[in-house]
Amino acid sequence: MIRKPKHRQKTGEKQGTGLGRGGNAPPKEYQWKPGQTGNAGGRPKQVLTDEIRILLPKACPLDKKPQDWDDRKQGKWKPRTWAQVLALSIMSNTAKGIAAAIHQLYNRLEGKVPLTIQGPEGGPIPLDFDLKNLPQKDLDALEKILEKARRSDG
């Protein structure tokens, strides 16, 4: 036997206001007024990235290991920067095979490496197909795509 969910609206019942799931709108005083937006400034851009960039050249307070023990004895020792500690961590974790979190951070800071697809000896990829066997509707669709690409290259 198939059971219907209890929350389902019965035939002939008055429908909700149409906002949100289930058709229930928030009270009028909480609804947006005409011309009002709930996110006027938009999403802050690259807040985390900006903070990381500020911290990278600064001394890392977590760095307790001397770079060179002789320098520490002579009072010359300084903590490494966050960038230096991160670089050591990347190398250490990569050697251990733990690269997922570091990969995300690296992509955020350096940008993703573009994917390049090349044919033999770095040239174009040879395509071997016969357009004579395509149906006319597919040829028309291909022509539209090519025309759009020509216009956008402009």
pLDDT at 9 over 90: no
Contact 59, 79 (CB under 8 A): yes
Contact 102, 90 (CB under 8 A): yes
pLDDT at residue 22 in the model: 56
Kindly report each contact of residues 105-114 with a partner whose C-beta sits within 8 Å and lies 24 or more positions away, as own/partner. 105/52, 108/48, 108/49, 108/52, 109/49, 109/52, 109/53
Contact 118, 125 (CB under 8 A): yes
Hunting for tokens 């050591």 — which residue is that?
88
Query: H-type helices in 22-135, by residue range?
Result: 47-55, 69-73, 82-96, 100-110
Listed residue (49, 22, 28) closest to 107, CA to CA = 49
Q: Please state whether the predicted TM-score (pTM) of the whole model is above 0.85.
A: no
In this prediction, residue 41 has a pLDDT band, given cuts at 50, 70 and 90, of: confident
Tens digit of each residue's pLDDT (9 = 90 or more) over 10-19: 555 555 555 5
